[in-house]
Structure 1
Amino acid sequence: MNTATRVPDLAVRVRDRLAQRHPGASIGELRTLPGGHSGLTYSVTAGDSRYVVKAVPEGQRPVGRNDVLRQARVLTALAGSDVPVPGVACVDRTQPAWFAMDFAEGEAVEPVLDDQEVPAATARARMLEIARVLRRLHATDVHSPGLDPPEPLDAAGELMRWSRTMHAVPEELRPGGEELLQRLADDVPSGMAPVLLHGDFRLGNVLCVGERAAAVVDWEIWSVGDPRIDLGWFLLFADHRNFPRLGHPVPGLPTEAGLLDAYLDGRPALPAMDWFRALGRMKMAAIMGHNLRRHREGKHHDPHQERLPPTIAAMIRTARDILGGP
């Protein structure tokens, strides 16, 4: 469906609400904001203020990544906390729902993957900075007013969920994947107290100004659960060699151990982190395999996906290496 057909109606609703917030101010046009992956994402001005608008696409249910009200809820819960997030300006629950949040200045660059260059010292400082931000996120009270946490994610549930995704990928696109899934299933670690999880925590989802983390964005898949789920994913992005044919070498980035030290800040080491590091690699292999399959089946034409097989294989191979044994 052409979601552009909904823009005039959405624009009227946004203009009316922002006009109430900024009496007499000129309200600009909705402009598509590149990089938005949940629903529709726009920028809009109201006088001297600038906002990002996220909306449910016309004809789609407000679930999963399209549940923009759920995103607004976690941002509202984190407002004024030690975790920097954009402020929520207004929420319209009338379907198709939308909300507007403050436009946060900064750049979100994944050093080992994005083409945009960041000085090596700056990239290093940012990674250590957001490791500490992740620690503060995980210290958030999951029963904060309005958060209404979902059922907690544990290691077994996360493995089951992503095993389904991996099994949907043809075997020839996931060499060694079945053995990896079995080895993960054979040694599922016991759980930890649930914390607030971002779900896709990495530099590519944190707006930075200089070396400072200005705003954590892209909360489409937040949840509560085992903190090692977030950590295992975050650590993937410390080394370009995890991404053959995709990654860029960045000298001086923190190692996975260095990032864990910054996160722990003197606290005891977390048990079974190797299992969660391997889980993160399995998840990445499953996601890339899924995207490659869709491309080859003609469901989403993107020749860039043909660069993925070496990285998929590397993710599975290194995950097995991390788990040790034969």
Structure 2
Amino acid sequence: MTDLSDLLASFMSRTAGAGVLSGLERLSGGANMESWSFDWAGSGYVLRRAPSAAYMADRPYGHADEAALVMAAHDAGVKAPEVVGVLADGDGMGTGYAMRRIVAAVSPATILADPPPSLLGDLGRELAHIHAIPMASVPDAIPLMDTREALAELRARFLSYGGDRPAIALAIRWCEDHLPAPAEPVLVHGDYRMGNVMVGADGLAAVLDWELAHRGDAHEDLAFGCMTVWRFGRIDKPAFGIGSLADYFAAYEAAGGVKVDHDRFRFWLIYRTLWWALGCLQMGQMWRSGADRTVERVVIGRRTAEQELDLVRLLEEEAPAAERARPLPPSPDAASAPVGEPTNREIVQAVRDWIEGAVKPATQGHAKFEVAVAMNALGIVLRDLDAGVRAEDAALADALLSGATTLAAPGLLARLRREVLDKCAVDSPKYAALAAARADWRG
């Protein structure tokens, strides 16, 4: 930290004038991307950086262009952070930029526990303002998304990951069959959701995390924050876990946003749920490759089950009424009680009990979080060993992807419902949509 302090002090002296650095504190984890809070000359700042330029190599644009985009958004009156300086090679801190610190809540749990009355309207209005940013002020490096090409890339990734998850194959085929015509492009934030906004007592305070921004369809942004996973348990409130889609759309349109096309919104809701399902699978690939060997990464890889559940819930209306009414088949039989030498399950349980009793009480800070993640990982293994449930079925996935099989096939929807219920119960038993799906499907 001493080296970073000295380097950061030199950088701030050059960009913000004389001062003294204090209160340097890392805000976020992760092996590569970092956020640091600090004070300089009586004001608060945040440094966002990647210690190595190699981390940014596979991204469509780097931190200099990202910073230029954030500055353009701020200049256009959007509630984006105020960038005060961009790191250069000679600064010795990798790539990144410094911003003025904003003091407000960012935790979805904190915000959604008592959201300000204006918040849903604020989110709709702010998104309209983002989409109104003049294209001429957007850096040339910010790419234009071709939806057909992006969907083809998702298909290719799915096949590279095994191509054997039926719910994902079903969603890919549906998106291919319902691809909307190109829309007039706007600046799309790309990650507009709870967790990436800051909220104060008076409402929306800031929009963060612009690294996925691109030019594209406004409905992509409209849909993303409405995904089930980003409602953080408030699944009865489809707009950000705060309120209704009607109120959200009305606020967006009243602020100058495009007229909402409900079919286009549905496409993007399914597309981005599919995108995140593959994103979770990618986390597992990152762990396997050695790019990120953290326990957190491999556990996120098992959150694919949440998105598969959501995809079946989104797509089930495509099935005939008789198939939607068909009862679910039973779950696989539970394992019998063990005898003889300790089983794999019992060994894992013993390790988990030891971590909970001896390790967890002695940890604090980020280490305590890592212990909780490790216990969660072992919990997944225990439930998996009990249930013996797998999500892979290459033959069915191939039939769905090719269109040879559809949800009109007798018993297919009931089978998919049972399988995603059982898999999510293993991987994410506390996922709010799981209880809702069980009630809806009488599972």
TM-score, normalised via structure 1 length: 0.80
Aligned residue among 157, 161, 164 for 2:153: 161
User: Larger deviation: 78-87 or 14-23?
Assistant: 14-23
> Is the partner of 2:84 in helix, strand or coil?
strand
User: Larger deviation: 184-193 or 303-312?
Assistant: 303-312
> 2: distance between equivalents of 1:323 and 1:257?
23
Aligned residue among 300, 314, 323 for 1:319: 314
> 2: distance between equivalents of 1:254 and 1:239?
13
> 2: distance between equivalents of 1:108 and 1:15?
27
> 2: distance between equivalents of 1:101 and 1:213?
18
Mapping of 1:191-230 within 5 angstroms?
191-230=182-221
> 2: distance between equivalents of 1:23 and 1:76?
20
| Residue in structure 2 matched with residue 52 of structure 1 by the alignment | 46
| Residue in structure 2 matched with residue 256 of structure 1 by the alignment | 245
| Residue in structure 1 matched with residue 168 of structure 2 by the alignment | 177
For the 8 Å contact 2:60–2:142, the answer to whether it is kept is: no
Q: What do the CA deviations read for 1:65-84 (whole angstroms, capped 9, x no partner)?
A: 89222221111112232311
Q: What do the CA deviations read for 1:230-269 (whole angstroms, capped 9, x no partner)?
A: 22212215885xxxxx735677831334322322228633
> 2: distance between equivalents of 1:35 and 1:213?
25
Aligned residue among 268, 275, 281 for 2:273: 281
Distance 1:312 1:269, change over 3 A: closer
Question: Which has more radius of gyration?
Answer: 2
For the 8 Å contact 2:16–2:84, the answer to whether it is kept is: no
| Residue in structure 2 matched with residue 305 of structure 1 by the alignment | 300
- Percent identity over the alignment? 20
| Residue in structure 1 matched with residue 10 of structure 2 by the alignment | 16
| Residue in structure 2 matched with residue 130 of structure 1 by the alignment | 123
1:40 matched to 2:34:
yes
Q: What do the CA deviations read for 1:198-224 (whole angstroms, capped 9, x no partner)?
A: 111112111111242111111111111
Distance 1:51 1:237, change over 3 A: farther
For the 8 Å contact 1:39–1:56, the answer to whether it is kept is: yes
Aligned residue among 72, 81, 99 for 2:76: 81
Tell me the CA shift for residue 43 of structure 1.
1.5
1:188 matched to 2:186:
no
Tell me the CA shift for residue 272 of structure 1.
2.3
Tell me the CA shift for residue 181 of structure 1.
0.7
For the 8 Å contact 2:60–2:141, the answer to whether it is kept is: no
> 1: distance between equivalents of 2:260 and 2:61?
36
Q: What do the CA deviations read for 1:35-94 (whole angstroms, capped 9, x no partner)?
A: 679733211211211111122323625432892222211111122323111111112322
| Residue in structure 2 matched with residue 94 of structure 1 by the alignment | 89
> 1: distance between equivalents of 2:102 and 2:313?
36
Aligned residue among 88, 103, 106 for 2:104: 106
* Residue type at the aligned position of 1:276: W
> Is the partner of 1:143 in helix, strand or coil?
helix
> Is the partner of 1:272 in helix, strand or coil?
helix
* Residue type at the aligned position of 1:261: A
> 1: distance between equivalents of 2:14 and 2:75?
24
| Residue in structure 1 matched with residue 222 of structure 2 by the alignment | 231
Tell me the CA shift for residue 19 of structure 1.
2.4
Unaligned runs of 5+ in 2: 321-406, 408-443
Greater relative contact order (CA < 8 Å, ≥ 6 in sequence): 1
Tell me the CA shift for residue 105 of structure 1.
1.2
* Residue type at the aligned position of 1:100: A
Q: Which has the higher helix share?
A: 2
User: Larger deviation: 158-167 or 127-136?
Assistant: 158-167
> 1: distance between equivalents of 2:235 and 2:152?
33
For the 8 Å contact 2:224–2:269, the answer to whether it is kept is: yes
> Is the partner of 1:190 in helix, strand or coil?
coil
Tell me the CA shift for residue 196 of structure 1.
0.7
- Matched residue count: 308
Q: What do the CA deviations read for 1:110-167 (whole angstroms, capped 9, x no partner)?
A: 3xxx4x4644453x642331121111100111111x6225331132133223333333
Distance 1:33 1:50, change over 3 A: same
| Residue in structure 2 matched with residue 243 of structure 1 by the alignment | none
For the 8 Å contact 1:274–1:323, the answer to whether it is kept is: no
For the 8 Å contact 2:283–2:301, the answer to whether it is kept is: no
Distance 1:23 1:262, change over 3 A: closer
> 2: distance between equivalents of 1:263 and 1:44?
35
Aligned residue among 234, 247, 250 for 2:233: 247
